[in-house]
């Protein structure tokens, strides 16, 4: 048995969400920008945070 349930309404939102992904991730990216990446922990997370920050600044 799965804890995940996907219905038609959720699937209908997928194209919109993918088309507006910057809206979904904009606030978290901005919040992460204000955190010292070294304080986030693992080096992989550091790399991802820096990449997200650079991507957000390009927009």
Query: What is this structure's pTM?
Result: 0.36
Angle at 46 between CA 42 and CA 52, to 5 degrees: 140
Q: What is the DSSP string of 1-59?
A: --S----HHHHHHHHHHHHTHHHHHHHHHHHHHTS-GGGG-SHHHHHHHHHHHHHHHH-
Please say if the pLDDT value at position 1 is more than 60. Answer: no
pLDDT tens per residue across span 4-53: 888 899 899 889 888 888 888 888 888 877 777 667 666 777 788 888 88
pLDDT of residue 39: 72
Question: What's the pLDDT score for residue 40?
Answer: 64
């Amino acid at each position: 048995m799965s804890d995940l349930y996907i219905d038609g309404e959720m699937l209908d939102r997928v194209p919109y969400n993918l088309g507006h992904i910057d809206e979904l991730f904009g606030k978290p990216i901005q919040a992460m920008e204000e955190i010292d990446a070294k304080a986030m922990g693992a080096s992989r997370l550091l790399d991802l945070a820096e990449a997200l920050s650079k991507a957000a600044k390009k927009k």
